[in-house]
């Protein structure tokens, strides 16, 4: 038996950290949406009780350091699965980019293994398991557009965002997410209007989304990495309707209503950045 699952990337339309919790995580309010840039995971049932993972990318571990492997190990242990799996991961999402590539891969593994091993778990049950491995995994399981709160694991689905073009640009630097949160001063930053963003999505208003876009983590990453700030400025200069860093960075995305302008932003950025993508919001395949 063989199963193929797509693992789409996400962007944060709004990311707010409200306060530091007793467990040392931040209480978050985020509006996220999946986009049409995806990794692909193939799963093959094995009678032998082993987990095999082959990653078609450099510098990504194919052992228990990988969230895909951890997802399989968690299900095997929790449900005493005696069958095995051989998994092949084809990467298209940039690594360590603020696009939840690793989390989406793990979500794809949970979905695929639920089918492969006939576990009959609901999406909510899979999301609870995913939350044990990473805060972004529950959102990646639900996909679409959603409000995520708590550590990011409490998901309230929202309508699909209006159709538009999305230009992504990732500079060739890496950013430490724990380091960004450590340096964030929640009492000293301007907080995005999460309620305004949620309403804009409910109203299917592209203009409302552009008006309410915001990410408190920019205050840290843009100050430390001027090249991220420069990409954002260039996007606006080339004609983007709005631009924002996704997650803790370093990827910046532009939202553009018209294809001709999106193409201009995309072409302009290729002079500044090796990794540039022109995509759309994710449409679930029928």
- In tens, the pLDDT along 203-230 reads 999 999 999 999 999 999 999 999 999 9
Cβ atoms 115, 109 nearer than 8 A: no
Mean pLDDT, all residues of the chain: 95
Domain with CATH 3.30.70.890 in the chain: 165-279
Domain with CATH 3.30.230.10 in the chain: 2-157
Q: Which residues are annotated as a binding site?
A: 94-104
pTM confidence score: 0.95
Integer Cα distance of 104 and 284 in angstroms: 15
Give the HSE-up count for residue 105: Cα atoms under 13 Å, Cβ half-sphere. 30
Integer Cα distance of 67 and 61 in angstroms: 9
Q: Which residues of the chain have pLDDT under 70?
A: 284-286
Integer Cα distance of 106 and 137 in angstroms: 7
Q: Under CATH, what is the fold of the domain 165-279? A: Alpha-Beta Plaits (3.30.70)
4, 62, 189 from 28: Cα distances, Å = 32, 31, 14
What CATH code would you report for 2-157? Answer: 3.30.230.10
Check residue 284 and give its pLDDT: 66
Check residue 286 and give its pLDDT: 35
Check residue 57 and give its pLDDT: 87
Q: Which residues are annotated as a binding site for ATP?
A: 94-104
Catalytic residues: 10, 136
Check residue 74 and give its pLDDT: 98
Cβ atoms 91, 68 nearer than 8 A: no
Q: Which residues contact 85 (CB under 8 A, 6 or more apart)?
A: 43, 44, 45, 46, 51, 52, 72, 113, 116, 117
């Amino acid at each position: 038996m063989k199963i193929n699952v797509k693992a789409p990337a996400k962007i944060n339309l709004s990311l707010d950290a409200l306060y530091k919790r007793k467990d040392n995580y931040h209480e978050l309010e985020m509006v996220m949406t999946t986009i049409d840039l995806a990794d692909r995971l193939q799963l093959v049932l094995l009678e032998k009780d082993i987990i095999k993972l082959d990653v078609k990318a450099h510098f990504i571990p194919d052992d228990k350091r990988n969230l895909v492997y951890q997802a399989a190990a968690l299900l095997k242990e929790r449900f005493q699965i005696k069958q095995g799996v051989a998994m092949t991961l084809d990467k298209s999402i940039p690594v360590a980019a603020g696009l939840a590539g690793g989390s989406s891969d793990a979500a794809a593994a949970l979905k695929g293994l639920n089918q492969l091993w006939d576990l009959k778990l609901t999406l909510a049950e899979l999301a609870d398991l995913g939350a044990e491995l990473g805060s972004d995994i529950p959102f990646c399981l639900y996909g679409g557009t959603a409000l995520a709160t708590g550590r990011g694991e409490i998901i309230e689905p929202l309508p699909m965002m209006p159709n538009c073009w999305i230009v992504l640009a990732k500079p060739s630097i890496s950013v430490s997410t724990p380091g960004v949160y450590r340096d964030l001063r929640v009492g000293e930053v301007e907080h995005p209007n999460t309620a305004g963003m949620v309403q804009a999505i409910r109203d299917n208003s592209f203009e409302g989304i552009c008006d309410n876009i915001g990410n408190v983590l920019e205050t840290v990453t843009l100050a430390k990495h001027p090249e991220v700030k420069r990409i954002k400025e260039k996007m606006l200069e080339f004609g983007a309707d709005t631009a924002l860093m996704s997650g803790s960075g370093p990827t910046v995305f532009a939202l553009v209503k018209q294809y001709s302008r999106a193409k201009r932003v995309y072409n302009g950025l290729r002079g500044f950045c090796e990794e540039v993508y022109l995509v759309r919001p994710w449409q679930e395949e029928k």
